[in-house]
Amino acid sequence: MEIKVVKDILEANDLVANGIKEKLGKANTFMINIMGSPGSGKTCLLERTIEGFGDKFDVGVIEGDIRTSMDSERLTAYGVPVVQINTEPFGGDCHLPATAVGRAMEGLDLVSLDLVIVENVGNLVCPAEFYIGEDRKVVVLSLTEGEDKPLKYPLMFRESYALVISKLDLLPHLDIDMELVRSNALSVNPSLKVFPLSAKTGEGVDEWLRWLGREIGPGRSGG
Amino acid sequence: MEIKVVKDILEANDLVANGIKEKLGKANTFMINIMGSPGSGKTCLLERTIEGFGDKFDVGVIEGDIRTSMDSERLTAYGVPVVQINTEPFGGDCHLPATAVGRAMEGLDLVSLDLVIVENVGNLVCPAEFYIGEDRKVVVLSLTEGEDKPLKYPLMFRESYALVISKLDLLPHLDIDMELVRSNALSVNPSLKVFPLSAKTGEGVDEWLRWLGREIGPGRSGG
């Protein structure tokens, strides 16, 4: 009985997500879904990405949080359109459901955008279960979270197309084996693209931007 | 309809949790439920707690993970009984439901234990919604997660009795205002006990142990 309900919710979600995907396709807009634990550095990655792309791509942002609009306020400083979703009125949802993303998208002028970045609710578990119509799922894992996380939270790493290993600047201060983080992630998902970087020092950010630029590129015919 | 289902699940969970609470009361055993993001330092806190209590209290552990028994293996090295729950067979549950804790508890000889520590699945959202019969909920927040987390994930901080701010040793390497972490947490829950500590250097661990010892104490008549 309980399983049936969950299945229904996931199916209803996928229907809405398929509609979003179609809408994005018509507008020729690429969308990534950024996921990761609270404090893994998702908003910092967004800031460096928007900054790094400059005039190259027109970016819009959908910010998911249970509560507060702090991240949106941070991001509007970069002169990009931002729509905030607070899941608290919906029972403090631990993930962004496709319906919420669809509603937020009405606040964006899709045809004027090359890229929509969705920052999901900070959670290494639940968001991985909900397709929101994105082209690529990206997981951000902070170096401070430990090498074992891909093995302990495998669904997130299995579902993601790329892994950003953040806070690289802290490496000298941590008892962390960077290569073990990478190999554990690859053991769960061998085709994962891995980008170690520091949003603070900028190390590794160019590789991330180059990859993302290529992903956006082929689908776009200019605009 | 959806809301009704969730309500039923929570009510069913509470019934089981009440049974656990009763069982613990009969055995005169105290139980804490340790929650926090992946990599926030929950297992390290457990290690320092077990080590720190030494012969003072008999401790048992219930380890919750979606997958792997890595944490259990780490903890058995300390000579305490450990029962692992993997939620993956139950759909990769993002929290420990009371039923799972109840089943795990059958693997512990409660009357021989003063304290049961439950390490919940790494998640700053969902575990806060599920009462498992514990005496105290404790949230672990790593300094690396940022000052804004209590405001963005308020339920966890509202439900918790104590907050451990972990990885204090990293403070010199972070752009973090420790007092703002504390005041944000207290703005959500003014009665929260706050313990900044480093499981690595040991700083602040004594204050945590003293508090926990007192909490265990009054309920126990020796044994």
User: pLDDT tens-digit profile of B67-85?
Assistant: 999 999 999 899 999 999 9
Contacts of A44 in chain B (CB under 8 A): none
- Interface A–B counts its CB contacts (< 8 A) at 126
Query: Of B70, B126, B149, which is closest to A126 when you measure between CB atoms?
Result: B126
What pLDDT sits at residue A12? 87
Residue A63: which H helix or E strand, with range?
Answer: strand A59-65
- The SS3 of residue A132 is coil
Asked whether the beta carbons of residue B94 and residue A94 sit closer than 8 angstroms, the reply is yes
Q: How far is B116 from chain A (nearest CA, A)?
A: 22
Q: Tell me the average pLDDT across B158-175.
A: 97
What pLDDT sits at residue B1? 38
What pLDDT sits at residue A153? 95
Distances (CA, A) of B126 to A72, A124, B95, B129, B181: 23, 11, 6, 6, 21
What pLDDT sits at residue A88? 78
Q: How far is A145 from chain B (nearest CA, A)?
A: 4
Contacts of A42 in chain B (CB under 8 A): none
User: pLDDT tens-digit profile of A143-154?
Assistant: 999 999 999 999
3-state helix, strand, coil in chain A (%, to 5): 50, 20, 35
Residues of B with CB under 8 A from a CB of A: 2-3, 5-6, 9, 37-39, 65-68, 70, 91-92, 94, 121-126, 129, 142, 144-146, 148-149, 151-155, 167, 169-170, 173-175, 200
Asked whether the beta carbons of residue B145 and residue A173 sit closer than 8 angstroms, the reply is no
Cα-Cα end-to-end distance for chain B: 49
Q: Tell me the average pLDDT across B182-190.
A: 98
Asked whether the beta carbons of residue A125 and residue B124 sit closer than 8 angstroms, the reply is no
A5 or B212: which leads in pLDDT: B212
Comparing alpha-carbon positions, the chain B residue that sits nearest to A174 is: B170
Q: Is the ipTM of this complex over 0.90?
A: no
Neighbours of B138 (CB within 10 A): 24
Q: Which residues contact B70 (CB under 8 A, 6 or more apart)?
A: A148, A151, A152
Q: Whole-model pTM?
A: 0.91
What pLDDT sits at residue B220? 53
Asked whether the beta carbons of residue A39 and residue B144 sit closer than 8 angstroms, the reply is yes
Asked whether the beta carbons of residue A170 and residue B167 sit closer than 8 angstroms, the reply is no
Is the CB of residue B6 less than 8 Å from the CB of residue B130?
A: no
User: pLDDT tens-digit profile of B117-130?
Assistant: 999 999 999 999 99
Distances (CA, A) of B14 to B52, B97, B105, B127, B213: 32, 9, 16, 13, 27
Asked whether the beta carbons of residue B152 and residue A126 sit closer than 8 angstroms, the reply is no
Query: Which two tokens mark A70?
Result: 């702090």
Burial A160-196 (b: 16+ CB within 10 A, else e): bbbbbbbbbbbbebbebeeeebbebbeebbeebbbbb
pLDDT at residue B12 tops 60:
yes
Q: How far is A144 from chain B (nearest CA, A)?
A: 7
Residue from B3, B65, B148 whose CB has the most chain A CBs within 10 Å, to mutate: B148
Asked whether the beta carbons of residue B67 and residue A2 sit closer than 8 angstroms, the reply is no
User: pLDDT tens-digit profile of B19-42?
Assistant: 999 999 999 999 999 999 999 999
B93 or B160: which leads in pLDDT: B160
What pLDDT sits at residue B91? 60
Distance CA A158, CA B37 (A): 19
Residues lower than pLDDT 70 in chain A: 1-6, 89-92, 218-223
Contacts of B37 in chain A (CB under 8 A): 37-39, 122, 124, 145
What pLDDT sits at residue A2? 47
What pLDDT sits at residue B189? 98
Please give the mean pLDDT across all residues of chain A: 92
What pLDDT sits at residue A49? 98
Q: How far is B3 from chain A (nearest CA, A)?
A: 9
Contacts of A124 in chain B (CB under 8 A): 37-38, 122-123
What pLDDT sits at residue B37? 97
